[in-house]
Structure 1
Amino acid sequence: MASLLSWLAGRRTEEVRCTVDIEQTFDSLHAHAIPEGVTLRPGDRVVVHGVPAGIAYGEAMSLTCRATVYRAGWLARAWTEASAILELTELYHCGFEPKEAS
């Protein structure tokens, strides 16, 4: 029963290594966190530990740290996939209505 509840609700966690790339320069402003050795699925959450909150302008940094992956259960995964599809359909409405209808 406990494994069924875990499968539905998703209470599993995994500790993994994570490569973090942060840059704040004239050319780029980004922060990428890539968990290693794990495949992320819809609804999963990743918490990265030990990463600086920010860097000074003109700096770029790449480091390896620890991350916790919180696995989504079946219900959360299904909800995430369904809501993503519904939100995607909002992009289809491009405004081809006549101006009088607005």
Structure 2
Amino acid sequence: MAFRRSSFDTACRIEVEHSDAHLHAHVELADGIAMHPGDKVRVHGEPISVGFGERRVFDRIATVERASLIERLWTKVSGHFELSELYEVSFTSRRIS
């Protein structure tokens, strides 16, 4: 692992769906490139617009920026603290009005 960021360009496929059943956008990097904590992806090209009821697939180029060792560790540690905020749940036996 490096102590500084590195970046590279790769092909990617973007799937966008906008319907009453789904609203999503997924990016799949070429050759199954895996992402790790703290990594960033920037997809190049014109903004994507998909009308209601449509599902479209686009092929683009993306720049992957790998996090440094310190950034990767910090992302893992801080992610655990942010996740713990979701655990603050309260149950009461009385009805809330």
Q: TM-score, normalised by structure 2?
A: 0.82
Which residue is 1:55 aligned to? 50
Which residue is 1:83 aligned to? 78
Q: What percent of counterpart residues are identical?
A: 33
Which residue is 1:17 aligned to? 11
Cα RMSD over matched residues? 2.1
Shift in Å, 1:69: 0.1
Which residue is 1:35 aligned to? 29
Report how many aligned residue pairs link the two structures: 93
Structure 1 residue runs of 5 or longer lacking an equivalent are 1-5
Give the counterpart letter for 2:60 in structure 1: C
Q: Which is further off, 25-34 or 71-80?
A: 25-34
CA distance in 1, matches of 2:24, 2:46: 14
Q: Which has the higher helix share?
A: 1
Structure 2 residue runs of 5 or longer lacking an equivalent are none
